[in-house]
Amino acid sequence: MPVKTVYNTAIESVSILDEHGNFDAKLGKGLIPDKDVVKLYEHMCVCRHLDEVAFKLQRSGRMGTYPENRGQEATSLGAAYVLKPQDWLVTCYRENAGLFWRGLPMESILLHWMGDERGNAIPAGLNVTPIAIPIGTQMLHATGLGWSMKYRGEDGVACTFFGDGATSEGDFHEAANFAANLDLPVIFFCQNNGWAISVPSRIQCSAPTLAQRGIAYGMDTIQVDGNDLFAVVYAMKAAVKRARTHHRPTFIEAVTYRLGDHTTADDARRYRDPAEVESWQHKDPILRLRAYLEGKKLWNGAKQEAIEAHAKETISAVVKRAEDIDAPSNVDFFDSMYVTMPADLRVQRDTMRTSSLGQNPAELQGAPQPAAAHVAR
């Protein structure tokens, strides 16, 4: 029998605004209105300042381990800019810019890293999930959300973020398989920053691109310059349209770089070449966006000074709100666990007694408060 080719494919790589300030007017025309570019740039500046302050909070012992977002702001922000209120943003832990653009209070992120669970209490109607620390688990949640919205006939999309290392997790493969086979409106957004903590991408995946892992499941795929806000928006608009119109998933590989350590518990100097870090500093998404705005006479030194002053004032207030929050109540654990609390847990909350386990809640209504020694701590 003759040998025949059963499948051919190609993966596009998109760059619209490069680190040298070169702008592809054809691809970028009408993509983001000038007034929105200014707002997005200002937002990135404020987020960058929060990152700097959060680092200092950790180093001064006022906050726990913190993962810097520095250098990766354009990815989640570009996605959040395109998504609509009914869509879901399903993140891991380096998507502050997108979460804050979406409306998540900045102090929520600080509270999370301070160990206060109230930082994970998402305001009703915001359609973002709490940040996920276990690698890859949030992709399953995004696929479930996509499945739910399709089942209910809702006009929504779930966009989930993860790193290059997470594509080696079983959770990614299960989520991708379900989303593609069931035609679900899910966007798999891979932030390929070159490192899975200290493991480089070349060891993490032997294929030339991580986007090929999306192709393996029958998804439309694209690679973009992840430090180019315009390229991210370009890819996201196509992916959202595909998801909303055809209920088809998309895999976006955004090539980016974390300029800081993996977290404040890491020392990237032990495994990264300083020359590599230096080269990526010149590709900073904030620097190139500022150059673009200055080239169009939409930005200047005075405006930069103003936004930096605004950022300092804003983040100072955010830190104060996070640090001055009232101490949690001993009933918070119960009240935040369920929308409708089961009767037996309601009794435990009201009596602060675990001895009520296995007993009829109706018989325990009005039970006396326990002695202080028996109060749950």
pLDDT band at 330 (very low <50, low <70, confident <90, very high): confident
Same domain, 369 and 269: no
Q: Which residue has the tokens 């992916």?
A: 239
| Stretch 273-291: mean pLDDT | 97
User: CB of 161 within 8 A of CB of 91?
Assistant: yes
Residues 6+ apart with CB under 8 A from 35: none
Given 323, 344, 365, the domain boundary residue is 323
What is the 3-class SS of the chain, one letter each residue? CCCCCCCCCCCCEECCECCCCCECHHHHCCCCCHHHHHHHHHHHHHHHHHHHHHHHHHHCCCCCCCCCCCCCHHHHHHHHHHCCCCCEEECCCCCHHHHHHHCCCHHHHHHHHCCCHHHHCCCCCCCECCCCCCCCHHHHHHHHHHHHHHHHCCCCCEEEEEECHHHHCHHHHHHHHHHHHCCCCEEEEEEECCEECCEEHHHHCCCCCCCHHHHCCCCEEEEEECCCHHHHHHHHHHHHHHHHHHCCCEEEEEECCCCCCCCCCCCHHHCCCHHHHHHHHCCCHHHHHHHHHHHCCCCCHHHHHHHHHHHHHHHHHHHHHHHCCCCCCCCHHHHCCCCCCCHHHHHHHHHCCHHHCCCCHHHHCCCCCCCHHHCCC
Would the pLDDT of 348 be above 90? Answer: no
Residue that terminates a domain, selected from 288, 305, 323: 323
- One domain, residues 294 and 264: yes
Separation of alpha carbons 261 and 197, rounded Å: 8
Span 304-329, average pLDDT: 96
Residue 366: the pLDDT is: 59
Both 243 and 148 in a single domain? yes
Q: Are 286 and 44 in contact (CB under 8 A)?
A: yes
Query: Does residue 3 form part of some domain?
Result: no
Instruction: Give me 131's structure tokens.
Output: 């940040």
- Residue in 255, 221, 213 with CA at minimum distance from that of residue 238: 221
pLDDT of residue 359: 65
Tell whether the model's pLDDT for residue 40 goes beyond 70.
yes
For the residues 237-259, what does the mean pLDDT come to? 97
Task: Flag whether 2 is in a domain.
Answer: no
Angle between helices 301-323 and 106-113 (to 10 degrees): 50
Q: For residue 346, indicate whether it is catalytic.
A: no
Question: Would the pLDDT of 195 be above 80?
Answer: yes
Domain for residue 6, yes or no?
no
pTM over 0.75: yes
Predicted confidence (pLDDT) per residue in 131-140, tens digit? 999 999 999 9
**Residue 347 pLDDT greater than 90, yes or no:** no
pLDDT higher than 90, residue 290: yes
Predicted pLDDT of residue 373 = 40
Q: Is 366 left (phi over 0), alpha (psi -120 to 50) or beta?
A: left
Given 151, 269, 271, 374, the catalytic residue? 271
What share of the chain in percent tops pLDDT 70? 94
CATH number of the domain where residue 77 is located: 3.40.50.970
* Residue 248: domain span: 13-323
Of the candidates 258, 346, 349, 353, the residue annotated as catalytic is 258
Which two three-digit tokens encode residue 363? 């018989």
Phi, psi dihedral angles at 268 (to 5 degrees): -65, -15
Same domain? For 341 and 289 the reply is no
- Has residue 115 been placed in a domain? yes
Mean pLDDT score of the chain = 93
Q: Tell which residue, 312, 344, 345, 350, has the closest CA to residue 330.
A: 350
- Does 368 lie in the same domain as 272? no
User: Which residue among the candidates 262, 272, 346, 349 is catalytic per the annotation?
Assistant: 262
Is residue 67 domain-resident?
A: yes
Smallest CA-to-CA distance from 149 within 124, 174, 186 is with: 186
pLDDT tens string 156-181:
999 999 999 999 999 999 999 999 99
34-59 and 106-113 helices cross at what angle (nearest 10)?
20
Q: Buried (b) or exposed (e) across 347-377, using 16+ Cβ within 10 A?
A: bbbbbbbeebeeeeeeebeeeeeeeeeeeee
**Do residues 352 and 295 both lie within one domain?**
no
Whole-number percent of the chain with pLDDT over 90: 84
Q: Strands 158-163 and 88-90: what pairing?
A: parallel
> Is residue 1 situated within a structural domain?
no
| Whether 141 is catalytic | no
319 lies in the same domain as 338: no
Count of structural domains, the chain: 2
Higher pLDDT pick, 1 / 117: 117
Both 32 and 76 in one domain: the answer is yes
Whether the per-residue pLDDT at 370 is higher than 60: the answer is no
Residue 364's pLDDT is 58
20 domain residue, yes or no: yes
In the predicted model, is pLDDT for residue 77 greater than 90?
Answer: yes
pLDDT of 372: 41
What gap in Å lies between CA 345 and CA 352, rounded to an integer?
Answer: 10
Q: Is pLDDT at 121 greater than 70 in this prediction?
A: yes
- The answer, yes or no, to whether residue 126 has pLDDT greater than 60, is yes
Q: Are residues 186 and 238 in the same domain?
A: yes
> In the prediction, which pLDDT does 91 show?
97
Residue 371 confidence (pLDDT) above 90: no
CB-based contact 312:49 (threshold 8 Å): yes
Q: Is residue 42 part of a domain?
A: yes
Question: Residue 360 pLDDT more than 90?
Answer: no
pLDDT score at 376: 39
Over residues 132-153, mean pLDDT: 97
- My answer on whether 201 and 74 are in the same domain is yes
Q: CA 328 to CA 334: how far, in whole Å?
A: 12
Position 363 scores a pLDDT of: 67
Q: Which residue has the higher pLDDT, 336 or 243?
A: 243
Q: What does the pLDDT read at residue 96?
A: 98
Tell me: do 73 and 201 sit in the same domain.
yes
C-alpha triplet 255, 257, 263: angle, nearest 5°: 135
Task: Kindly indicate the confidence band of residue 23, based on its pLDDT and cuts at 50, 70 and 90.
Answer: very high
For the question of residue 173 being annotated catalytic, the response is no
Same domain for 173 and 318: yes
